[in-house]
Amino acid sequence: MAFGYEASSNHRLLLVRRPAGVPVQDDFTVDEVELPQAEEGTFVVRNLFLSVDPAQRGWATTGTHYTAPVRLGTVMRALAVGQVIASRHSAFLEGTHLYGWFGWQEYALARPDDVLTLIEALDIPLSAYAGVLGINGLTAALALKRIGRPVAGDTIIVTTAAGAVGSVATQLARAAGCTVVGITGSDEKAARCIGRFGCHRAINYREGKIELLLDANLPGGADILFDSVGGQLLDAMIRRLRRGGRIIQCGTASVPGWSPPPTGLRNEREILLKSLLWGGFVVFDHVSEFAVETRRLASLLREGKLIYEEDIRQGLIKAPRALTDIYAGRNSGKVLIAL
Ligand SMILES: NC(=O)c1ccc[n+]([C@@H]2O[C@H](COP(=O)([O-])OP(=O)(O)OC[C@H]3O[C@@H](n4cnc5c(N)ncnc54)[C@H](OP(=O)(O)O)[C@@H]3O)[C@@H](O)[C@H]2O)c1
């Protein structure tokens, strides 16, 4: 079977301005360059699905401990699923499907270090490898395993519960025998958390005072908090944890910016007196576990024990707006850009 370029040039999305908070369209521009050519030890990937991730706000602004900020004028850092179409590396043959650091562009010149997953099982849709089998599903699974450690009878609060990470965390926690209370941003999403993903109860945090909503839905408190939002919601939720509770700090979606660092309510008293454990989780610290965990999640998918939703948009130019939308809750499931 022959593989090759389907276009005569490569369109790329470049970061041209440091976002002030949530990235917007004008922080990016599209350019058009020659197609990359494989050199010794490299291969060319044609991107099929670009991933849009909340973490890109951090990559475009301050950077993180695992990656420097994207340099202005260069391709926006992004994960993607693609196919090798030209190769000068014996381990990455033409036709191979991969998930990795291929950027917001049509074609990427890649090296082995850029690859997170070698996609072997093609009975599962390719897009799933960028979401439920990508960093989103892996984050849910590994953060629960490492920090949440759910046992039957626990009550867990899951924030961003209708989203790519939260929906998987919900289903895995429920399968472990937990009572799951989802937190999300609309009545429609709350209904989906219960009807599709199996939350026992779901709270629309925009509906009223969060303290009252939590008290009504968590009369006995909770044992685990899977938090991806931070800020005032986190403060309110910490106060409802039981003794020995575990907090997974997975994200900070509700915090508008980190410079200057925000201050607010203090929780040290609850942490101390309830012997709470508060652990930060970064999925890229656990890359060595990806292959095994991806296979486990793939088995659950095949058995019909894990469902997922995708919000797939068409065309490279849609990517920045899709990132803005995620921070406004205007997404239903894993956001991908199909090329
Ligand atoms: N630590 C890690 O390694 C790691 C890896 C992947 C993802 N994450 C984190 O996991 C979280 C979910 O990521 P995802 O990819 O699955 O995205 P997602 O949940 O599909 O989409 C993000 C969701 O965040 C919620 N949100 C946005 N702004 C908010 C605000 N101001 N206050 C409260 N909620 C807000 C929205 O849901 P509602 O409409 O329900 O508010 C939005 O749909 C993010 O915080 C992300 O950074 C962490």
Q: Where are the domains of the chain?
A: 9-131+308-338, 135-284
The Cα–Cα gap between 12 and 32 comes to 6
**pTM across the whole model:** 0.96
Q: Which ligand 1 atom is the nearest neighbour of the CA of 206? A: 41
* Closest CA to ligand 1's atom 22: 326
In this prediction, residue 19 has a pLDDT band, given cuts at 50, 70 and 90, of very high
pLDDT score for 65 = 79
Nearest one of 47, 35, 36, 37 to 9, comparing CA atoms = 35
Question: In this predicted model, what pLDDT tens digit does every residue of 93-126 receive, in sequence order?
Answer: 999 999 999 999 999 999 999 999 999 888 999 9
In terms of Cα–Cα distance, which of 63, 69, 246 is closest to 151?
Answer: 246
**Strand pairing of 155-158 and 179-184?**
parallel
> Which of the four CATH numbers 3.30.70.60, 3.40.50.300, 3.40.50.720, 3.40.50.10420 does domain 135-284 have?
3.40.50.720
Average pLDDT on 157-181 reads: 98
Confidence of residue 2 (pLDDT cuts 50, 70, 90): low
Q: pLDDT digits over 211-266, tens only?
A: 999 999 999 999 999 999 999 999 999 999 999 999 999 999 998 877 778 887 78
The binding-site residues of ligand 1, defined as CB within 6 angstroms of any ligand atom, are: 53-55, 135-136, 139, 160, 162-166, 184-185, 189, 228-229, 250-251, 253-254, 281-283, 326-327, 329, 331
As a whole number, the mean pLDDT across the chain is 95
The model's confidence at residue 1, banded by pLDDT at 50, 70 and 90, is: low
Say yes or no to pLDDT of 178 above 70.
yes
State residue 84 phi and psi, 5-degree precision. -70, 125
What's the sign of the alpha-carbon dihedral 55, 58, 63, 64? negative
CA of 53 to the centre of ligand 1 (A): 8
**How many whole angstroms separate alpha carbon 247 and alpha carbon 280?**
8
The yes-or-no verdict on residue 36 having pLDDT over 80 is yes
**Centre of ligand 1 from the C-alpha of residue 85, in Å:** 33
63: left (phi over 0), alpha (psi -120 to 50) or beta: left
| Digit-coded pLDDT (tens) for 56-76 | 999 998 877 778 899 999 999
pLDDT at 280: 97
**Interval 284-337: pLDDT, tens:** 999 999 999 999 999 999 999 999 999 999 999 999 999 999 999 999 999 999
**Sign of the CA dihedral 151, 310, 11, 95?**
positive
Is the Cβ–Cβ distance between 202 and 181 less than 8 Å? yes
Fold observed for domain 9-131+308-338: Quinone Oxidoreductase; Chain A, domain 1 (3.90.180)
Report the atom number in ligand 1 closest to the C-alpha of 284. Answer: 3
> Given pLDDT bands bounded at 50, 70 and 90, which one contains residue 3?
confident
